[in-house]
Amino acid sequence: MLLNKFFFIELSEMELDKKDLEILKILVEDARLSYRKIAERVGVSIGTIISKVKKLEDAGVIKGYSAILDHEKLGYVLTVITEVTVAKGKLLETGEEIAKNPNVCCVYDVTGLTDAIVIAKFKTREELSNFTKSLLKMPYIERTNTHLALTTLKEDFTLI
Per the structure, the complete domain to which residue 117 belongs is given by 72-148
Residues 54 and 20 in one domain: yes
pLDDT of residue 157: 83
Q: Is residue 155 part of a domain?
A: no
pLDDT of residue 140: 96
Q: Is residue 153 part of a domain?
A: no
Q: Is residue 140 part of a domain?
A: yes
Q: How far apart are CA 21 and CA 15, in angstroms?
A: 10
Give Cα 140 to chain centroid, integer Å: 25
Give Cα 124 to chain centroid, integer Å: 23
CATH code of the domain in which 42 resides = 1.10.10.10
Alpha-carbon torsion (139, 110, 70, 49), positive or negative: negative
CATH code of the domain in which 83 resides = 3.30.70.920
pTM equals: 0.81
Q: What is Dmax (Cα atoms) for the chain?
A: 56
Residues 76 and 144 in one domain: yes
- Residue 64's Cβ-side half-sphere holds a number of Cα atoms within 13 Å equal to 3
Q: Is residue 66 part of a domain?
A: no
Give Cα 28 to chain centroid, integer Å: 13
Give Cα 159 to chain centroid, integer Å: 12
Residues 76 and 53 in one domain: no
**How many domains are there within the chain?**
2
pLDDT 10s per residue in the chain (160 long)?
343 333 334 444 578 999 999 999 999 999 999 999 999 999 999 999 999 999 999 999 999 999 889 999 999 999 999 999 999 889 999 999 999 999 999 999 999 999 999 999 999 999 999 999 999 999 999 999 999 999 999 998 888 8
